[in-house]
């Protein structure tokens, strides 16, 4: 778990804290509605009614599951998933 936490980066956009994790393979995005796609990545709406989760492999090939505690949005780029930390829980699969 310590290694995973070392990959999490934090920065601030406006008044909202945003973090990201880096991945080597995006396995699946379940229960998230695609909101917008542009050159920067894809933005998804997360509604907890749909039991959303994002499954990805980290740099060591370990599978991780990102689950959500409340409704939010996430952005997925070619190697990063940006999320709001107080809405998200990351577990090893």
CB-based contacts of 28-33 (< 8 A; 24+ apart in sequence): 28/53, 28/54, 28/55, 29/54, 29/55, 29/76, 30/54, 30/55, 32/74
Helix (H) or strand (E) holding 57: strand 53-57
Query: How do 16-22 and 9-13 pair as beta strands?
Result: antiparallel
Give pLDDT, residue 92: 87
> pTM for this one?
0.82
Provide mean pLDDT across the span 76-84. 96
Residue-wise pLDDT tens digits, 3-43: 443 345 554 445 578 999 999 999 999 999 999 999 989 99
């Amino acid at each position: 778990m310590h290694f995973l936490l070392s990959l999490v980066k934090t920065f601030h956009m406006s008044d909202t804290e945003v973090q990201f994790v880096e991945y080597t393979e995006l396995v699946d995005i379940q229960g998230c509605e695609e909101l917008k796609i542009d050159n920067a990545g894809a933005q998804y709406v997360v509604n907890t009614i749909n039991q959303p989760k994002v499954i990805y492999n980290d740099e060591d090939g370990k599978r991780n599951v990102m689950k959500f505690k409340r409704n939010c949005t996430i952005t997925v780029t070619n190697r990063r998933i940006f999320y709001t930390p107080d809405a998200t829980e990351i577990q090893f699969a």
